[in-house]
């Protein structure tokens, strides 16, 4: 049992927590603004030794759950992609934020944020630009940096993609990907082969995404370079169904669009199964992944009392999504989006098929071959050639397409086709039109996509924020991070009690033993023992092991093991220590059972 006095622990949730966390993150090596030696640049952060390790552990936990446990494939695609990819995906035309520039200080701001922060509008992003300009003028809104009036300033659509040139010169424009998803979609024709053309299948990717945010803010919550962990799950919309039974009892807090639109709307406490049955979540696939995600967030340390799923309002949805639910965490009284679960339908694959000419379909075999009537054409080229010259092949393509979609167009003596906006009449007898019976083994379908898309940086921030604790130990104030062992950067800190060669040698043996067992260990022999404990508490190390004189003098070699949260200490034999701690890390054993 601990001989330490322990005052009540508080998990503070006021604004100061973020300030203290950001300060702790810098001091202890979690994260800090990049390129500090050159004054820093907004929206770019470096994860220090602790942060890189925590982030890596979060990514590993995500990979275990969303790739390995679900049987999905993982890929690693380039972060720069050529312009046609983003013409097809819609990002070139539609991936914009609203920008307003201050006429006095020249600072750029997100116009929708200026509106939301200073008026009753909650979803200004969904308003058309002229309306945002009107709201700014009507409410006499001012520049958040210098206070100058913004009324009358033009609001512009600002594309968030970072542009670059591929190779020397500017012959091939490219962009840094704004979402990892496109790296998966463009490789679909090959990926479907690896999945043996069998739906459903999923492809995951963990990697960097880039957005030239107008006003990056709140440290790593809104940055210009960040990490996403995305799953693109390809399904046959008519036949495939998720294994909803596996998650139907998962309890969730939902905030559907219908409730957000009411004056007295509220969050709903329900289960995944009931939410699907009552039509609150329209897509069982989206519901399935919400059900997988909730316990996963819990396991890695997101506080479930500060967690909910919120449905996007119709004007808020991205250009590709027909429905979307965000996983949100509460930070300092505000909700932040940690992940989006979108139903993207066939939008992406259809667009890439249209723009690339490649096959973004899967062949779906019928249970029994079907006999179907097919309308075909076999045009008389000795007529089309002289009549249409270089456009003859385009006419053939148009006739084939028309026969497929509207065979009644060939009912009369002539058939009308559209070519470059002009209508042409052709004699039907020259088109070789016929309807034949064909036996078909299956059809080519465009799969639909369900997309759980996680932002790793925001998740790391939430995990740290929700783990932040202040208490008093032996009359002294203490700050510690109550991190889950699965994600904590270091699992055990090992110390020799004093600078003594014998103690140090023994402590190094303990370090080697624990590292052999696959545990992440830090060795610290600087400063007094109390300060070493505080240092490990502050970075969230769950256990500390101290080697003292009893260790080397007693017959049985024992050490003191101290638990971070309670500061309880126990004397344990070195023999078997690695196995005991490994069991605790796996969640198979509790410290107070020892």
Write 251-254 long-range contacts (CB < 8 A, 24+): 251/294, 252/290, 252/291, 252/294, 252/308, 252/309, 253/307, 253/308, 253/309, 254/280, 254/281, 254/308, 254/309, 254/310, 254/311, 254/325
Size of the site for ligand GAP (CB under 6 A): 18
Decide whether 45 or 491 has the Cβ nearer to ligand GAP. Answer: 45
Backbone angles phi, psi at 222, to 5 degrees: -130, 100
User: Is residue 464 part of the contact set for ligand GAP (CB under 6 A)?
Assistant: no
| Beta carbon of residue 273, minimum distance to ligand GAP (angstroms, whole number) | 25
Decide whether 179 or 303 has the Cβ nearer to ligand GAP. Answer: 179
User: Is residue 203 part of the contact set for ligand GAP (CB under 6 A)?
Assistant: no
| Beta carbon of residue 66, minimum distance to ligand GAP (angstroms, whole number) | 14
What are the DSSP calls for 408-428, one per residue?
A: GGGSSSEEEEEETTEEEEEEG
Q: Restricting to residues 332-361, name those near ligand GAP by CB under 6 A.
A: 337-340
Rounded-to-integer distance, Cα 552 and Cα 14, Å: 47
Question: Within a 10 A sphere around the Cβ of 536, how many other Cβ atoms?
Answer: 24
User: Is residue 484 part of the contact set for ligand GAP (CB under 6 A)?
Assistant: no
Decide whether 348 or 482 has the Cβ nearer to ligand GAP. Answer: 348
| Beta carbon of residue 487, minimum distance to ligand GAP (angstroms, whole number) | 17
- Which contiguous run of DSSP H or E holds residue 205? strand 201-210
User: Is residue 89 part of the contact set for ligand GAP (CB under 6 A)?
Assistant: no
Q: Restricting to residues 33-72, name those near ligand GAP by CB under 6 A.
A: none
Choosing from 101, 112, 179, 303, the residue that interacts with ligand GAP (CB under 6 A) is: 179
Decide whether 222 or 351 has the Cβ nearer to ligand GAP. Answer: 222
Query: Which H, E and C letters describe 445-472, residue by residue?
Result: ECCEEEEEEEEHHHHHHHHHHHHEEEEE
Decide whether 4 or 319 has the Cβ nearer to ligand GAP. Answer: 319
| Beta carbon of residue 296, minimum distance to ligand GAP (angstroms, whole number) | 15
CA angle, 246 as apex, 459 and 452 as ends, to 5°? 35
Q: x-or-dash pattern for ligand GAP, window 218-257, by CB under 6 A?
A: ----xx--x-x-x---------------------------
Choosing from 205, 329, 453, 490, the residue that interacts with ligand GAP (CB under 6 A) is: 453
Strands laid side by side in the 558-563 sheet:
521-523, 492-496, 543-547, 558-563, 569-573
Q: x-or-dash pattern for ligand GAP, window 122-161, by CB under 6 A?
A: ----------------------------------------
- For residues 348 and 185, the answer to whether their CB atoms sit within 8 Å is yes
Cα dihedral sign, 568-573-575-580: negative
Q: Restricting to residues 485-504, name those near ligand GAP by CB under 6 A.
A: none
| Beta carbon of residue 78, minimum distance to ligand GAP (angstroms, whole number) | 16
Q: Restricting to residues 524-583, name those near ligand GAP by CB under 6 A.
A: none
User: Is residue 455 part of the contact set for ligand GAP (CB under 6 A)?
Assistant: yes
From first CA to last CA, the distance across the chain in angstroms is 11
Q: Residue of minimal CB distance from ligand GAP?
A: 455
Question: Within a 10 A sphere around the Cβ of 553, how many other Cβ atoms?
Answer: 9
Choosing from 150, 181, 483, 559, the residue that interacts with ligand GAP (CB under 6 A) is: 181
Decide whether 183 or 542 has the Cβ nearer to ligand GAP. Answer: 183
Q: Which residues make Cβ contacts (< 8 Å) with residue 411, sequence separation at least 6?
A: none
Decide whether 78 or 147 has the Cβ nearer to ligand GAP. Answer: 78
Rounded-to-integer distance, Cα 169 and Cα 579, Å: 59
The structure tokens listed for 508 are 């190094």
The structure tokens listed for 420 are 């470059």
Decide whether 461 or 491 has the Cβ nearer to ligand GAP. Answer: 461
| Beta carbon of residue 211, minimum distance to ligand GAP (angstroms, whole number) | 5
Burial readout 121-134 (b: 16 or more C-beta within 10 A, e: otherwise): beebbebebeebbe
Q: Which residues make Cβ contacts (< 8 Å) with residue 278, sequence separation at least 6?
A: 270
Decide whether 230 or 482 has the Cβ nearer to ligand GAP. Answer: 230
Interface positions with ligand GAP (CB under 6 A): 179, 181, 211, 213, 222-223, 226, 228, 230, 337-340, 451, 453, 455, 457-458
């Amino acid at each position: 049992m601990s001989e330490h006095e322990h005052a009540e622990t508080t998990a503070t949730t006021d604004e100061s927590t973020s300030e203290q966390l950001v300060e702790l993150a810098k001091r202890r090596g979690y994260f800090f603004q990049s390129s500090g030696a050159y004054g820093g640049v907004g929206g770019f952060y470096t994860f220090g030794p602790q942060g890189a390790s925590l982030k890596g552990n979060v990514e590993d936990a995500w990979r275990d759950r969303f790739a390995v446990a679900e049987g999905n494939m993982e890929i690693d695609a380039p972060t720069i992609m050529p312009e046609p990819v983003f013409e097809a995906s819609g990002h070139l035309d539609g991936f914009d934020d609203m920008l307003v520039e201050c006429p006095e200080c020249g600072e750029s701001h997100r116009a929708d944020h200026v509106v939301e922060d200073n008026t009753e509008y909650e979803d200004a992003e969904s308003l058309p630009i002229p309306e945002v300009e009107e709201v700014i003028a009507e409410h006499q809104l001012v520049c958040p940096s210098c206070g100058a009036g913004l009324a009358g300033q033009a609001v512009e659509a600002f594309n968030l993609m970072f542009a670059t040139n591929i190779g020397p010169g500017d012959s091939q424009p490219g962009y840094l990907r704004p979402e990892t998803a496109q790296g998966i979609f463009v490789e679909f024709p090959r990926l479907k082969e690896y999945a043996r053309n069998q739906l459903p299948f999923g492809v995951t990717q963990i990697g960097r995404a880039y957005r030239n945010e107008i006003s990056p803010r709140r440290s790593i919550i809104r940055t210009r370079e960040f990490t996403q962990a995305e799953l693109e799950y390809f399904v046959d919309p008519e036949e495939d169904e998720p294994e909803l039974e596996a998650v139907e009892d998962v309890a969730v807090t939902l905030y559907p669009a219908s409730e957000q639109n009411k004056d007295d709307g509220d969050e709903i406490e329900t289960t995944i199964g009931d939410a699907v049955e009552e039509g609150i979540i329209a897509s069982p696939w989206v519901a399935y992944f919400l059900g997988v995600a909730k316990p996963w967030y819990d396991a890695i340390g997101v506080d479930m009392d500060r967690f909910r799923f919120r449905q996007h309002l119709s004007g808020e949805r991205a250009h590709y999504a027909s429905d979307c639910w965000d996983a949100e965490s509460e930070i300092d009284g505000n909700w932040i989006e940690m992940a989006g679960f979108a139903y993207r339908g066939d939008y992406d694959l259809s667009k890439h098929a249209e723009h690339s000419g490649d096959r973004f379909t899967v062949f779906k075999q019928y249970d029994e071959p079907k006999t179907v009537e097919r309308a075909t054409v076999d045009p008389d080229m000795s007529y089309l050639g002289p009549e249409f010259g270089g456009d003859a092949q385009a006419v053939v393509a148009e006739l084939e397409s028309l026969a497929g979609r509207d065979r009644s167009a060939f009912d009369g003596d002539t058939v009308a086709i559209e070519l470059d906006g002009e209508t042409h009449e052709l004699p039907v007898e020259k088109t070789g039109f016929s309807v034949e019976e064909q036996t078909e083994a299956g059809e080519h379908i465009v799969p639909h996509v369900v997309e759980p898309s996680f932002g790793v940086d925001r998740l790391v921030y939430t995990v740290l924020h929700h783990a932040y604790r202040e208490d008093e130990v032996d009359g002294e104030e203490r700050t510690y991070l109550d991190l889950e062992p699965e994600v904590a950067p270091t699992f055990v800190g090992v110390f020799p009690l004093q600078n003594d060669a014998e103690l140090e040698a023994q402590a190094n043996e303990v370090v080697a033993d624990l590292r052999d067992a696959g545990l992440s260990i830090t060795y610290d022999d600087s400063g007094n023992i109390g300060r070493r404990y505080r240092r490990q508490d502050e970075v969230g190390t769950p256990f500390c092991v101290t080697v003292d004189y009893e260790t080397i003098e007693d017959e049985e070699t024992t050490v003191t093991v101290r638990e971070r949260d309670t500061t309880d200490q126990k004397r344990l034999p070195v023999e078997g220590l690695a196995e005991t701690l490994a069991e605790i890390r796996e969640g198979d054993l509790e410290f107070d059972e020892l």
